[in-house]
Amino acid sequence: MSDAGAVAATTGVPEELIMRAAKARAAASGTSVDAVLGAWTGGGTIATAAPAPDRAPEPAAPARVETTTPDSGSAATSETPAPVAPEAPPVAARVTVAARVDRDAAPLLVGRVDRPMMVSAALVALFVMSAFFAVAVPALDARNVAADQVPGTTPILSAEGLAGRDVYLEQGCMYCHTQQVRTVVTDIGLGPVTEPGTSPAVGPPTLGFVRIGPDLTHIGSRYEDLDILRTVLIDPKSLNPDSLMPSYTYLSDADLAALVQFLEESK
């Protein structure tokens, strides 16, 4: 039977726990596992290793050397000084030297020079260019592209056309339609530019300012067929499913015919 088995049989502790305890005791005392088990089997004690000192040992006292002189026969004692270790330089001195070396080796950083006048000049130039392309270019394009849009003359409205003009104003058509062609790019293709005295069909009451629907200055030139104009007034969605214009079926036949005649004479 092994030593661990003998200890287990004697104490009633499992052999596995005996081995763990023996290993731990051997590690703590600096001896072997067999020595620990042998001591437990024989009932002896285990000598433990001396603990490590918490601080460095103090320097030994100077050695005393006894010398005997042949004349007197008495012993004379002399002291020999112990060697002294060289002292290390202070920590502050080492840090100061290292910091001086790092500071001398560091590169010199130079910041970027700001130029506010150059930035202001660039902003002014950008504003001038934006204004030029927003105002001057469209005006030049309108004059060049719409060279054929010169003011023309329109025959005087007939009696039925004048009656239709009154119906036009009564129904408030000028709130959604304009009767003025401007010298801008968006009005190219609507006909001659509107000027005072150009058309008797156009006057201050019918000029309008909000173009929700199409401009009606020269509507007669675009729809010469009176049936198409009548169809648009009766059923606006027949030509444009997205039209917002109401139906004018509630007008009398005479008022509806006069309104169609006014639109036809607006050329």
Write the pLDDT tens digit of every residue in 101-123. 455 555 666 667 778 888 889 99
Q: Are the C-beta atoms of 236 and 246 separated by less than 8 Å?
A: yes
Cα–Cα distance measured from residue 55 to residue 266, given in angstroms and rounded to the nearest whole number: 116
Nearest to 185 by CA among 233, 133, 255: 133
Q: Which of 128-142, 221-235, 244-258 has the lowest mean pLDDT?
A: 128-142
Predicted confidence at residue 155, as pLDDT, reads 52
Cα-to-chain-centroid distance, residue 144: 45
Q: How confident is the model at residue 137 (pLDDT cuts 50, 70, 90)?
A: low
Instruction: Report the pLDDT value the prediction gives residue 110, as an integer from 0 to 100.
Output: 63
Q: What angle do the packed helices 33-42 and 3-11 form, to 10 degrees?
A: 40
Across residues 66-90, what is the average pLDDT?
53
Domains contained in the chain, number: 2
Q: What is the mean pLDDT of the chain?
A: 75
Give kind and range of the element (H or E) at residue 11.
Answer: helix 3-11
Asked if residue 168 belongs to a domain, the reply is: yes
Has residue 123 been placed in a domain? no
What pLDDT shows up at residue 49?
A: 47
266 in Cβ contact with 179 (< 8 Å): yes
126 lies in a domain? Answer: no
Whether residue 266 contacts residue 158, with contact meaning beta carbons closer than 8 Å, is answered with no
Residue 32 reports pLDDT greater than 50 = yes
Give the CATH number, domain containing residue 232.
Answer: 1.10.760.10
User: How far, in Å, CA of 68 to CA of 77, rounded?
Assistant: 9
Question: What does the pLDDT average to over 216-221?
Answer: 88
Q: Whole domain around residue 164: which residue ranges?
A: 159-265
CA dihedral for 235, 236, 241, 242, sign (positive or negative): negative
Distances (CA, A) of 19 to 25, 37, 39, 49: 10, 8, 13, 21
Answer yes or no: is pLDDT of 147 > 90. Answer: no
The tokens describing 195, both together, are: 């000027």
pLDDT (mean) for 76-83: 54
Q: Would residue 23 count as lying in a domain? A: yes
pTM: 0.43
pLDDT of residue 253: 94
Establish if 61 belongs to a structural domain: no
